[in-house]
Amino acid sequence: MSSEDMIKALLATARQPAERRAARAVWVRKTAKAWREAHREMDERCDEAVEHLDEEAFERFCDAEQAKVDAIYAQLRAVIDHDRWPRHLYWGDV
């Protein structure tokens, strides 16, 4: 390997942590936005459903809607509580 190729390889390796941090920041913003949007949609759907469903059906409906919101929030909590990121955001995709 030439000296120039070695330097290029070292520079590329040095940039990885900054690029990974940037990718993680993008993921957090995107996921938080999706969580807020899912929550807003859940509120709208439940507001509409309350007029059309009996109490038991409404509870089941809202629980299902809440599960969608909770699934997104769980991804954020895994990062916050355990530093557990989606696979593509690890070095070497491990």
**Least-confidence region, from 13-22, 40-49, 68-77, 83-92:** 13-22
Above 50 in pLDDT, residue 94? no
- DSSP letter, residue 53: S
d(CA 84, CA 69): 19
Give the number of C-alpha atoms closer than 13 A to the C-alpha of residue 12, restricted to the C-beta side: 6
Does pLDDT of 13 surpass 80? no
pLDDT in tens, 23-74: 999 999 999 999 999 999 999 999 999 999 999 999 999 999 999 999 999 9
Domain boundaries, the chain: 16-93
- Alpha-carbon distance 4 to 61, whole Å? 62
